[in-house]
Amino acid sequence: MKKFLLTMLLGLLTFPSFAQVFDFTYEGKTLRYYVIDEDSNEVEVEKSSTLLSGDLIIPSLVNYDNCNYIVTHIANKAFYKCSSLTSVKIPNSVETIGESAFMYCDNLTSIEIPNSVKTIGESAFIACSSLVSIDVDHENIHYKSIEGVLYTENATTLIQYPMGNNNTSYTIPNSVVSIGAGAFHACSSLTSVEIPNSVETIGKYAFMYCNNLTSIEIPNSVKTIGESAFKQCNSLASIVIPNSVETIGESAFMYCRGLASVEISNSVETICKKMFYGCKSLASVEIPNSVKTIGESAFSYCHSFISVVIPDNVTIIGTEAFYYCEALRDVTLPANLDELGYNAFGNCSRIKKIKYRGRTLVWTDAIMFADNIYKEATLCVPKGTTSLFQTVAPWKNFVNIIEVEYEYSGIDAVEADACETVEIYNLNGVYVGSDKSNLSTGVYIIRRGDKVEKIAVK
């Protein structure tokens, strides 16, 4: 037993000592520090255990157990939600400012980055509502400040536009290639931002919660639009996605409640998850032929959606893709559909017509449509396929199925107008039928859906 205990003790002695965490008070403010390198005596500032307020000076040197330590790092979220802090002086010993280090410091009005700083983590100064300027020591070789806006030293990346800046417009310099994550997050004073033709990336959350942003033009240089990049830009009325864009992140335009017009280029292959979720003013979107996948909840709660034509290259329509589009009346499904997600058109209770161009049926027992749709809507299927549709769920649940003559050319399908209800009247307004081939000589009025035309039969 003694031998075992001795072995255990010797084993423990071979391990390095546990990292030290300690508190140190300077100028009346107590901060917590974590030893990150015993050999070089370096520490980082940790999340404080005490409430911090007013003006804070971070010392460059701290002492613990009769040993001096150099402050070289500010940890991730070190001052997260320190809403009573009004200013912070960072010493010239700090090399790294961690992710979200000062996030939600609501009363922080200004901050200066010393020349020692080499790395600033993502979202370090995001959501600081009173921050009007981020200044950088002119000797810093990694970062720079242009009129209070934080950039990388060569100004190729715009890192942070201060949320407390009251200007209504901003022009991004031509040197910028990337707009960083959360760069303009919740900058509610901005009504317009001019993006130069040099920008290739709009980072995640870049313009999120810019509630008064009414106008923005995405240049033809942009290749990537990040997750939630324009989420909840409620005043944004229109957007054009240029053909340079290859990737769009999830929820990119989610809750843009004023968005009424969207133009998507033919370079986009995926309408991603929740891309236009909750865009309640959006009446329609022309989905380009390049699109292959419509993601989960992509158009959910687009309350003004009236009709949607899904092009034939689309093979996947995700779960609840068009959920609760309560004004939706006409739906055209693609010829090459392989997968139709659960509740894809759930709670779309006003659908009157569904045009299914595919010759291969998607089978599922899952809920696809509101219950009333199976009784009230007309399902338009390719000629000669009615019996097939009547045996496969959920299509067999439709009471009204009619056949349509579709013409197929390559990947595109052009439908004949047979799916529209045709009503023919004479000039006295008397209904005479729906088949033009049986008409006698004379002039007639034809109503086809919402279209009305006059024809002469000789």
Q: How far apart are CA 304 and CA 204, in angstroms?
A: 27
pLDDT at 458: 62
Q: How far apart are CA 66 and CA 121, in angstroms?
A: 32
Tens of pLDDT, residues 342-379? 999 999 999 999 999 887 788 877 788 989 999 999 99
pLDDT at 5: 46
Q: How far apart are CA 154 and CA 428, in angstroms?
A: 77
pLDDT at 50: 81
Contacts of 27 (CB under 8 A, 6+ apart): 57, 59
pLDDT at 436: 67
Q: How far apart are CA 363 and CA 342, in angstroms?
A: 11
Tell me if residue 79 falls in helix, strand or coil.
coil
Contacts of 138 (CB under 8 A, 6+ apart): 115
pLDDT at 363: 80
pLDDT at 451: 56
395: number of Cβ within 10 Å:
23
Given a cut of 50, the residues of the chain with pLDDT beneath it are 1-18, 409-417
pLDDT at 367: 82
Tens of pLDDT, residues 208-242? 999 999 989 999 999 999 999 999 999 999 999 99
pTM of the model: 0.84
All domains in the chain, ordered by first residue: 18-123 (3.80.10.10), 280-419 (3.80.10.10), 422-457 (no CATH)
378: number of Cβ within 10 Å:
17
pLDDT at 421: 57
